[in-house]
Amino acid sequence: MKEDEFPIPKRLEDAYRFKPATQLLVYIVLLVIGALILSVVKLGWPLDLYIVIFVVYAALLFPVVIKIENQWKVSFSLGLYGAAMAAIIYWTVTLLESFDLRSVSLYVLFLLIMTVELFHHLGEDIAYEEDKKVYIGVAILSVIFFIFLYMFLSAYDWRITVFGSILATILFAYAILPEKPI
């Protein structure tokens, strides 16, 4: 048989995906289920914490359920990213109980890691090329990460502080470097 008799589609998973309307319906149903679960669970938390949980839930659920390839999806995904980051920052700032150097540096580390990983999760369709700007951004984020990790670990022996900060910063930089397309 000839090879051209069985053309391979560009995206193999398209045949196994729901139609866009069905994907949106599943996403909305899962959002309603999440909202119902949050409304039934009575933990005595303030309303703003439930809202933060719901916004982060919606942001984390979106790229798992919605697999539409168009500009609207990217725009909505980035909007969810901004809303989730604003909610997480609001939550951490309002619940900040201690203002000593180690606590603040741990909060900044948490926010930095959440920001980068949530962007990887929600911005998976954003094609950015490996150019000088990306590497400068990775270097700046890595320096910020190193500084705050060093401040957080400063209570320990200087060897643990220096080598732990360097090792963790290398791992952080490696994790946020853009992947090369296959």
Per residue in 157-181, pLDDT tens? Answer: 888 899 999 999 999 998 888 766 5
Residues contacting 43, CB < 8 A, separation 6+ = none
Dihedral of alpha carbons 138, 177, 133, 80, sign: negative
CA distance linking residue 149 with residue 161, whole number of Å:
8
Phi/psi-derived region of residue 35, left when phi > 0, alpha when psi is between -120 and 50, beta in every other case: alpha
Enumerate residues 6+ apart whose C-beta is below 8 A from 133: none
Residue in the structure block whose two tokens are 């589609």: 9
Q: What is the pLDDT of residues 74-91, one digit of tens each?
A: 888 888 988 998 998 888
- The HSE-up count of residue 73 (CA atoms within 13 Å, CB side) is 19
Task: Give the DSSP letter string of 167-179.
Answer: HHHHHHHHHHSPP
Q: What is the pLDDT of residue 6?
A: 62
105-148 tens-digit pLDDT: 888 898 898 888 888 777 666 656 667 888 888 899 999 999 99
Q: How far apart are CA 3 and CA 149, in angstroms?
A: 56
63 within 8 A of 30, measured Cβ to Cβ: no
User: Which tens digits make up the pLDDT trace of 7-58?
Assistant: 666 666 666 778 888 999 999 999 999 999 988 887 888 888 899 999 999 9
pLDDT of res. 182: 47
In whole angstroms, what is the distance from residue 49 CA to residue 58 CA?
Answer: 14
Whether 81 and 119 have beta carbons less than 8 Å apart is answered as yes
Percent of the chain with pLDDT over 70: 85
CA terminus-to-terminus distance, the chain = 28
Average of per-residue pLDDT values in the chain? 83
Give the pLDDT confidence score for residue 127 in this predicted structure: 57
